[in-house]
């Protein structure tokens, strides 16, 4: 299993959840080599075979080389979890081509390139008499089902990724399933304080949003569910059911209109 951005935060939690349940790991990182090494050691302590791989997924050549590198080192690859993401603020007034390109190259295009590469690997195994199927899980965002105009370029890149999840599921079946997981308020991010995070986390129908372990379990569920493709699990405590005019950061600060 290849988990992108697995050195820290949600990617690490996903990697370790998979390791606990018998999956071997390819741990991707871009800059956080020490954190990736720590995830690798933790996964190995759980009984998994694990190796770390560096790639700048926003660079097409680097991204295209990642799956072949994993296969060369590990012998085979069965699943990719597209977790690595760029999350920077802009809105309609501050939007520019550069911001859109930054988010597209980090959040959308790599998932397509990696899915295509995994599919090619699976077809190659078929030709060698090692038939099998695989799975891609894309990390999305509940705000796609409850939109607001904050983090405009980020949101557009995740909306494109959600559409790509459907298109890839159509294009790459039957060898490859493609699914999504859409977290709610899961970890502190950006300039959010602990107090603001707590308020936002509780302001959902279930009075709790998603914990990292909730997202990790959902990812594992999809990898282990051979009849699911082309759909997304919203794991957010029901956050998507509540209309929100602004991002949860600003609502938690009590500034819905500024």
- pLDDT tens, 5-43? 999 999 999 999 999 999 999 999 999 999 999 999 999
Per residue in 154-169, pLDDT tens?
Answer: 999 999 999 999 999 9
Cα 224 from chain centroid (whole Å)? 17
Residue 49 has pLDDT above 90, yes or no: yes
Domain ranges within the chain, ordered by starting residue? 2-190+209-242
Gap between the Cα atoms of 58 and 53, Å rounded: 15
In this predicted structure, what is the pLDDT of residue 258?
A: 44
Query: With the CA atoms of 211, 236, 84 and 117 taken in that order, what torsion angle do they form, in degrees rounded to the nearest 10?
Result: 120
Percent above pLDDT 90 for the chain: 81
Here the tokens at position 89 are 């603020």
Gap between the Cα atoms of 195 and 92, Å rounded: 28
In this predicted structure, what is the pLDDT of residue 186?
A: 85
Alpha helices in the chain (DSSP H): 9-20, 33-45, 60-74, 97-103, 109-127, 152-172, 194-202, 212-223, 248-252
Query: With the CA atoms of 97, 103, 105 and 109 taken in that order, what torsion angle do they form, in degrees rounded to the nearest 10?
Result: -120
In this predicted structure, what is the pLDDT of residue 108?
A: 98
Here the tokens at position 150 are 């904050």
Confirm if 173 and 229 have CB atoms less than 8 A apart.
Answer: yes
**Which secondary structure element, helix H or strand E, spans residue 20, and what is its range?**
helix 9-20
Confirm if 146 and 244 have CB atoms less than 8 A apart.
Answer: yes
Gap between the Cα atoms of 115 and 103, Å rounded: 18
Here the tokens at position 160 are 């494109």
User: Under 8 Å CB-to-CB from 159, ≥6 apart: which residues?
Assistant: 144
Per residue in 89-146, pLDDT tens?
Answer: 999 999 999 999 999 999 999 999 999 999 999 999 988 777 779 999 999 999 999 9
Residue 247 has pLDDT above 90, yes or no: no
Bridge-based pairing of strands 25-29 and 79-82 is unpaired
Q: Which residues pair with 8 in a beta bridge?
A: none
In this predicted structure, what is the pLDDT of residue 257?
A: 47
User: Under 8 Å CB-to-CB from 146, ≥6 apart: which residues?
Assistant: 239, 240, 241, 242, 243, 244
Confirm if 86 and 94 have CB atoms less than 8 A apart.
Answer: no
Helix (H, G, I), strand (E, B) or coil at 228: coil
Here the tokens at position 122 are 């699976």
pTM above 0.75, yes or no: yes
Fold of 2-190+209-242: Rossmann fold (3.40.50)
Confirm if 186 and 178 have CB atoms less than 8 A apart.
Answer: no
Residues comprising the chain, all counted:
258
Per residue in 199-230, pLDDT tens?
Answer: 777 888 999 889 999 999 999 999 999 999 99
Here the tokens at position 219 are 């990812």
């Amino acid at each position: 299993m290849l988990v992108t951005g697995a050195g820290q935060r949600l990617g690490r939690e996903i990697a370790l959840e998979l390791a606990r349940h018998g999956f071997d790991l390819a741990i991707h990182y871009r800059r956080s080599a020490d954190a990736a090494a720590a995830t690798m050691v933790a996964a190995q302590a759980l009984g998994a075979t694990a190796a770390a791989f560096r790639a700048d997924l926003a660079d097409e050549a680097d991204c295209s080389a990642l799956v072949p590198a994993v296969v060369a080192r590990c012998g085979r690859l069965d699943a990719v979890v597209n977790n690595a993401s760029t999350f920077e603020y802009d809105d309609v007034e501050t939007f520019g081509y550069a911001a859109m390109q930054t988010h597209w190259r980090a959040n959308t295009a790599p998932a397509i390139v990696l899915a295509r590469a995994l599919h090619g690997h699976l077809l190659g195994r078929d030709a060698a008499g090692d038939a099998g199927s695989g799975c891609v899980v894309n990390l999305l965002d509940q705000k796609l089902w409850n939109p607001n105009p904050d983090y405009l370029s980020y949101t557009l890149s995740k909306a494109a990724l959600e559409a790509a999840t459907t298109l890839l599921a159509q294009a790459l079946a039957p060898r490859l399933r493609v699914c999504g997981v859409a977290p709610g308020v899961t970890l502190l991010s950006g300039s959010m304080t602990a107090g603001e995070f707590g308020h936002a986390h509780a302001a959902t129908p279930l009075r709790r949003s998603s914990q990292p372990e909730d997202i990790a379990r959902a990812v594992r569920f999809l990898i282990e569910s051979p009849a699911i493709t082309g759909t997304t699990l919203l794991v957010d405590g029901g956050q998507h059911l509540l209309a929100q005019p602004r991002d949860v950061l600003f609502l938690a600060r009590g500034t819905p209109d500024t």
